[in-house]
Amino acid sequence: MESNQDFRFLQFFVCANVEMLNAERKKKMVRVLVQIVAITCLWWWWASLTDAQYMKYKDPNQPVSVRVADLLSRMTLEEKIGQMVQIDRTVANPGILKSYFIGSVLSGGGSAPLPKASAVDWINMINEYQKGSLSTRLGIPMMYGIDAVHGHNNVFNATIFPHNIGLGATRDSELVRRIGAATAVEVRATGIPYVFAPCIAVCRDPRWGRCYESYSEDHKIVQEMTEIVPGLQGDIPADSLKGVPFVGGKKKVAACVKHFVGDGGTTKGINENNAVIDRHGLLSIHMPAYSDSIIKGVSTVMVSYSSWNGEKMHANRDLVTGFLKDTLRFKGFVISDWEGIDRITSPPHSNYSYSVQAAIQAGIDMVMVPFKYTEFIDDLTNLVKNSIIPMDRIDDAVARILLVKFTMGLFENPLADFSLVNELGSQAHRDLAREAVRKSLVLLKNGKNGTNPLLPLSKKAPKILVAGSHADNLGYQCGGWTITWQGFSDNSYTRGTTILGAITSTVDPSTEIVYRENPDSNFVKSDSFDYAIVVVGEHPYAESSGDSMTLTMADPGPTVIKNVCEAVKCVIVIISGRPIVIQPYLSSVDVLVAAWLPGTEGQGVTDVLFGDYGFSGKLSRTWFRTVDQLPMNVGDSHYDPLFPFGFGLTTESVKELVSRSTSAGVGQKPYILANIVSAIAILYFTASRGFRQPT
């Protein structure tokens, strides 16, 4: 446009001078001016062509900081604010991403392109959105985000790992790292480069509906479990500066630690409520895992809905900018929670312009809007144009977002390919999940009076009973944040192995398995069962719907325990997102197992019940006697638990038992050794475990 104006000006200049000069001078002047015009036009053409051919931000050989600065210098205010917006896929399409320069799209809990969508379905949807972003003037790719809090949990056929409370019980940070790597591959298999995980809350009250998303009540265990961050993102380079985000290639994803900060310490465990704690307590209990994650190169941090001493975290400049960005030197971007800035006011969204101002000035860089994006864009634009929010705050936010996008290779590989689609729910990942399940189980009791242990169970018992609402229900087994936000009930929503299915495939073909969800006592007494496995617990929930002041077992669980355990030797497996009330039933049970929310691989439970592996899990949470004791955490002056933090009985595998029992006879003659092994095996499996209880 400027080139045309200048050219017309030169034409006018030539004509005006021609009339004032004699014919000879006219000819010379015209030739000179034509040459000037030609040279000028050629120069403009060459400059524009060169500029189009080479832009520093498009050059992967340039340092990321140079690319960020170059791209930022080319962006309009409209383009910058667009980058700060994250919208839900239900309101997204290529045209909207192009028109509003949207920086990110997400799937809210359970939001999928189709029911039981395949990896290919996900990739095709996301690539269509991406094409809209790439068609903008500067071609800045959007980044797609999804909750992947225990595997790729929104996606049909994905591997669902145990929730964090179970992983904390493993005490195995290397295992958690491998789970992060497997999750990253499955997420990338669907074309997604960004996950809202891990949750590094320190749950201090099990009444909180998100307690199962916390690894432990002890911040030290939570810190250890931040090894999931390099699992998801890859190991940071040796020379990396503290706080600089890192994503190591197309099999890794950008991670998001959440929810900053103190979400696990609210009064009575009420979700999104107020954490009343002094600064020292906040920094010593709830902050350390953030520091560790930043050192490990985490890309993003999500702000909590909760408040600290009455101040909403989404508006807390002291902690978001002052501590997270300035003190901890975090260089990635800060994202809000779902409609998180709306909740700065009460009622939510009652003064949205103020909420936008407070959140952006506090230091939030990307806003999970997720629906009313035009309102957010208009309000933020007005705040900047009226100098209420300074331009350097916008530039800081956008620079951070671009830094993550460049670091994760999104500019070089904006479109997903299909090379990883077969990794979704792969057998290798399911084997890893099975390992995690067996390591997460905590054995709380083995023997009615602390003697005569019942475990390991005999695989060759003639007749066994399996009971309880959770024995054959994959949805209950996986818990919330599985396929849908609140989870599901039954076995049709995804692929996996229920505990009943695992028992069936584990015991000897000659063993008769009788399954009754809710058997009455007469039925149990009349059928001469060798033992019973009862699987009961909580129904799925997520966030506030899981808040509970009573922490009771779902019906008919207590009735099933009474009917079964009074009549036959029983193993009780508790499926729950936290400790629940069990003291009233404890004396009647022979074996009590805390299985938490194990996910899709139920065979991890039978691996330890039947002695293929030993129990090794330790409580990552205190198990209370009554809810009246809550909150109660290890180290409290009123600490009087039913089972203390760190408790967990151990068992040996059958192989270990046989090996240990025969080791003393190694020096004997071979035939004597063989007789000893045979005798022990017969006694162990037949006499001790294969009996029938008298009716």
Report whether the peptide linkage leading into residue 206 is cis, meaning its omega lies within 30 degrees of zero.
no
Is 656 inside a domain boundary? no
Residue 468 and residue 379 in one domain: no
Answer yes or no: are the C-beta atoms of 433 and 599 closer than 8 Å.
Answer: yes
Same domain, 318 and 268: yes
pLDDT of residue 351: 97
Residue 683 lies in a domain: no
pLDDT (mean) for 313-332 = 98
Domain boundary (612, 630, 651) is at: 651
Domain check: are 468 and 539 in the same one?
A: yes
Residue 657 — very low, low, confident or very high, per pLDDT cuts 50/70/90? Answer: confident
Picking from 460-469, 477-486, 649-658, which range would have the lowest pLDDT averaged per residue? 649-658
Helix (H) or strand (E) holding 105: strand 104-107
The pLDDT value given to residue 659: 82
* pLDDT at residue 36 in the model: 54
The whole-number average pLDDT for the span 562-575 is 98
Residue 341 included in any domain: yes
Give yes or no: residues 163 and 311 share one domain: yes
Closest among 589, 542, 539 to 561, alpha carbons compared:
589
User: Does residue 675 lie in a domain region?
Assistant: no
Q: What pLDDT sits at residue 676?
A: 38
Query: pLDDT of 403-421, one tens digit each?
Result: 999 999 999 999 999 999 9
Coil, helix or strand for 355?
Answer: helix
Closest by Cα among 367, 212, 203 to 289: 203
Same domain flag for 205 and 132 = yes
Residue at 178: amino acid letter? R
Average pLDDT of every residue of the chain:
91
Per residue in 183-199, pLDDT tens? 999 999 999 999 999 99
* Position 665 pLDDT exceeds 70: no
Across residues 398-403, what is the average pLDDT? 98
Taking residues 631-659, report their average pLDDT.
Answer: 95
β-sheet bridge partners, residue 160? 151
Question: Which domain covers residue 207, as residue numbers?
Answer: 63-408
Give me the pLDDT at residue 663, please. 65
- Whether 593 is in a domain gets the answer yes
Contact 183, 195 (CB under 8 A): yes
Model pLDDT, residue 109: 87
Name the band, by pLDDT with cuts 50, 70 and 90, for residue 660.
confident
Residue 576 has pLDDT above 80, yes or no: yes
Return the pLDDT at 110. Answer: 87
Residues near 507 by beta carbon (within 8 Å), at least 6 away in sequence: 459, 460, 461, 464, 513, 610
Residue 481 maps to a domain: yes
pLDDT of residue 449: 81
In a domain, 265, yes or no: yes
Q: Is residue 174 part of a domain?
A: yes
Q: Return the minimum-mean-pLDDT range out of 49-53, 245-249, 267-271, 337-341.
A: 49-53
What is the average per-residue pLDDT within 4-18? 45
> Is the pLDDT at 670 greater than 70, yes or no?
no
Output the pLDDT for position 15: 44
Whether the CB-CB separation of 479 and 470 falls below 8 Å is answered with no
689 vs 406 pLDDT, higher one:
406
Paired sense of beta strands 333-335 and 274-275, if any: unpaired
Q: Quote the percentage of the chain above a pLDDT of 70.
A: 88
Rounded to 5 degrees, φ, ψ at 155 are: -110, 130
The yes-or-no verdict on residue 16 having pLDDT over 60 is no
Residues 446 and 535 in one domain: yes
Last residue of a domain, one of 633, 651, 669: 651
Of 355, 383, 408, the position where a domain reaches its end is 408
At 31, is the pLDDT very low, low, confident or very high (cuts 50, 70, 90)? low
Distance, in Å, from the CA atom of 55 to the CA atom of 574, rounded to the nearest integer, reads: 59
Domain co-membership, 359 together with 227: yes
Average pLDDT over residues 415-434: 98
Q: Are residues 478 and 615 located together in one domain of the fold? A: yes
Residues assigned a catalytic role: 337, 543
Q: Are residue 609 and residue 501 in the same domain, yes or no? A: yes
Together in a domain, 394 and 449: no
pLDDT greater than 90 at residue 125:
yes
Q: How confident is the model at residue 37 (pLDDT cuts 50, 70, 90)?
A: very low
Looking at the fold, whether 495 and 615 belong to one and the same domain comes out as yes
**Residue 368 near residue 86 (C-beta atoms within 8 A):** yes
Q: Comparing 260 with 678, which gets the higher pLDDT?
A: 260
Round to whole Å and give the CA distance between 610 and 603: 10
Tell whether 196 and 298 lie within a shared domain.
Answer: yes
Domain count, the chain: 2
Residue 571 pairs in a beta bridge with 533, 591
H-helix segments, 364-518: 373-385, 391-407, 427-440, 474-478, 499-506
693 has a pLDDT exceeding 50: no
- Which CATH number goes with the domain that contains 189? 3.20.20.300
pLDDT tens-place string over residues 473-505:
999 999 999 999 999 999 999 999 999 999 999
The pLDDT value given to residue 42: 47
Residue 540 belongs to a domain with what CATH number? 3.40.50.1700
Q: How, if at all, do strands 311-312 and 307-308 pair?
A: antiparallel
